[in-house]
Amino acid sequence: MTKIEKGGVKKRIEGVDLNFERLNSTYYAALHNRISEEEISLKVIRQQINNDLFLPSSSEVSQILFLIQSTLRSSAEGRKIINLSPIGIRGFEQVITKSSPRKIAHLASKAADVVSDPTIQLAAEAVRVRQSHNLGPISLGAFHRCLRLQKYSSPDRTSIFEMYGTLDSYSKISQKESDHHMINLIQQYLRVIRILDPNIKPEVCISHIGIADKILENIKPNVSFQEKAKVISDYFDKEASGRIDYRYILTKEFIRYCEHLDIEKWGIRIQKILEEMPKIDGVTYSAKLDRSLGIGHYSGLTFMIYSGSVDLVDGGEVDWVSRLTSNRKEQSFVSGFGTDMLAGLINNNH
């Protein structure tokens, strides 16, 4: 029998939470906590076999995931789909997304992290492209089996899940052109969802993370995510909270918020994007002024695609490639599509 270094795994994973403390985590969901103190034996292995960390997707969900992948690939429109390494540079996510080192899983070795967000690794690939003196548009995508590091209780979630991540980056582009590219990406996702299951009624919600940053300007950086989220939600009246009709941006109430926060330009940008979105049967559109999810991750405009309370797609502007290439003119946006979540919805619907 081989004994794992006592406390080794446990010490590295304690307190890990990649979801910014949105869920209370001690990392039980990602790795059995006591494994670092037990001898490896048939008895221990028998106990671990049914741990959902090691379970594959069911055959039904696997078939749906294959169909989703095929549909996304055929709808890629020039996007390069690549296969990512399962491990990434140690500390990369921490530096790029301003996360706490406690929230990064140093599981592979002392020199590497488990890749739990493919979009961040796509940024590394974009930097490699720029280092080769290629200044053209970059459009990348990847399907990746991710490791969920949060503790969770929902029976619909497991420790391992699939996500489709994208990154688009441009060295010289106007804001109007950037917004147009984001609209096209949202339309691609809506088409894919419609093809796969016409019964799903998506809602597209546009936000700007700069609004949250403005509200939090005078908040200490060591304040927890829950406290920050409460400060943001408390700032807005009931009619301006949550997913709201984007026409609210034209009202006097919104102008009042603009006077205090200087956010009118972002409100106008949100409004223009939603007005330019094509009207599709079964698709609704909204804005969210009090978005807090993505603080420290996104740098500007964001979007989400919901099906009821389930968020299928989350994306937005990031400054990762710009910072890594020291090029302020580089504009990038990423998106993550929870293909496992969509597969679950389709499986339940049929």
Give dist(CA 218, CA 155) in Å, integer. Answer: 39
Give dist(CA 282, CA 273) in Å, integer. Answer: 18
Supply the pLDDT for residue 202.
96
Residue 296 has pLDDT above 80, yes or no: yes
Mean pLDDT of 255-271: 84
Supply the pLDDT for residue 326.
92
Supply the pLDDT for residue 282.
92
Residue 29 has pLDDT above 60, yes or no: no
Assign 24 a pLDDT band (cuts: 50, 70, 90): very low
Assign 190 a pLDDT band (cuts: 50, 70, 90): very high
Give dist(CA 346, CA 341) in Å, integer. Answer: 9
Check: CB of residue 304 under 8 Å from CB of residue 313.
yes
Task: Quickly count: other Cβ atoms within 10 Å of residue 50's Cβ.
Answer: 8
Give dist(CA 342, CA 191) in Å, integer. Answer: 14
Phi-psi region of 349 (alpha: psi -120 to 50; beta: other; left: phi over 0): alpha
Supply the pLDDT for residue 146.
85
Residue 98 has pLDDT above 90, yes or no: no
Check: CB of residue 190 under 8 Å from CB of residue 202.
yes
Residue 39 has pLDDT above 70, yes or no: no
Architecture of domain 55-94+108-349: 2-Layer Sandwich (3.30)
Residue 324 has pLDDT above 80, yes or no: yes
Mean pLDDT of 94-101: 73
Longest CA pairwise span in the chain (Å): 71
Mean pLDDT of 272-288: 92
Contacts of 95 (CB under 8 A, 6+ apart): none
Assign 19 a pLDDT band (cuts: 50, 70, 90): very low
Supply the pLDDT for residue 204.
96
Give dist(CA 248, CA 240) in Å, integer. Answer: 8
